[in-house]
Amino acid sequence: MGEKRQPSETENEKRRRRIAHQRALREKKRKKKKRARILAATAAFVLVAAAGGAGVYAVSIKNAEKKASVVPYEEKMYGNSVYQTEKLYATDLCVSAEDLDEISYSGSTNVHAAGLFDINAKKVLYADRIHEKLYPASTTKIMTALIALEKGNLSDIVTVSSHAAAESFPSDAQLCGLKEGDQLTLEDLIYGLLLYSGNDAGTAIAEHISGSEEAFVEEMNSRAKELMATGTHYMNPHGLHDADHYTTAYDLYLIFSECIKNENFAKIIESDGRDVSIKEADGSIRTDRWEPTNYYAKGLAAAPDGVTVLGGKTGTTGEAGFCLILLEKNQEGNPYISVVMGAGTKDALYQDMSALLEGTNSIS
């Protein structure tokens, strides 16, 4: 996780004013275009095919062309300002073409995007700009982990290259502290990637799975297309900032939905930490412990009464703001996925996320 130092309060106030002003302008445009968006969203068709004797259903929705209007934290445009795509949505996915609120969301709107997805009901309960292209920061790592778990063997011994070593990264990047010549299992690296959000772990995994970061990134982009995450484009396996590295809150939901189907992924994000043993280049052994970065797991943020946070992935850069995607269950034991992207501060991130989590208990 490219976690960077928190911006000052003065900067946050300026950003909030910019976001609020931009949101007001957007709201006027939305009212004029609402009818057109609804008609576009409902222009869907259902495809039925047979697969192993079972029906496979898909819905294709063509979204009308719309421009990404989020104001970035720096005065820059996101990678591509136009988002236009045709997707095939399986019936086990939540689908929404526009903003909505079925939970009476009580959090702030000073974020880049937010969404709440009911897994069992296959329904979007809250959507705020979920189709706009944004910088993902270290939420990128859920795709890195997915490919590693699908293509690698957890017992593989990985040797850390000079390129993957900690000293190859910016001084303020989140790192596991890997050294050139270190040897450790792929399983330990994935724990370091998802729990501690080590950027060096991401590069070591990429090189082990595909031979190079570049080849691994090609696999990331290919897998994103397979998952219908067509608003996503990767440039690296860890999420450090690149202008051409972006996703959407909805695409994060699509990717995370696939991730949590993997038992090992679910086990890792639900873990409270991982004790690792690393063999150094000189043959000596050092130990470390990698713990989760999200505040719910660390006990620094409390989930609403009745809500259990199972695990998730944080992400922070100066350009992306503070981001978080979670798997949780409400007081009735029903599972949900929640996403907040682009909060101005870490405290604001968890306040807004808790407001989404509270909404899961309002669903009958």
Local structure of residue 167 (DSSP, 8 states): G
Query: Of 66, 87, 133, 138, which one is the catalytic site residue?
Result: 138
Active-site entry in 4, 141, 313, 346: 141
Separation of first and last alpha carbons in the chain: 36
Per the CB < 8 A criterion, the answer to whether 178 and 193 are in contact is no
Catalytic residue flag (residue 313): no
Measured from the Cβ of residue 24, the count of other Cβ atoms closer than 10 Å reads: 9
**Any residues with CB less than 8 A from the CB of 131 and at least 6 apart, and which?**
63, 66, 83, 97, 231, 248, 249, 250
Catalytic residue (one of 87, 133, 197, 346): 197
Q: How many CB atoms lie within 10 A of CB 225?
A: 10
Q: Which two tokens stand for residue 282?
A: 């000189």
Whether residue 212 lies in the annotated active site: no
Q: Which two tokens stand for residue 266?
A: 């679910």
141 is catalytic: yes
The tokens for 91 are 């019936």
Q: Which residues of 110-142 are buried (b: 16+ CB within 10 A; e: fewer)?
A: bbbbbbbbbbeeeebbbbbbbbbbbbbbbbbbb
Q: Is 275 helix (H, G, I), strand (E, B) or coil?
A: strand
Q: How far apart are CA 200 and CA 257, in angstroms?
A: 25
Which pair of structure tokens corresponds to residue 9?
Answer: 């309060």
Taking the CA of residue 98 as centre, how many other CA atoms within 13 Å lie in the half-sphere pointing to its CB? 18
**How many beta carbons lie within 10 A of that of residue 34, not counting itself?**
12
Bridge partners, residue 118, by sequence: 123, 336
Which residues are part of the catalytic machinery? 138, 141, 197
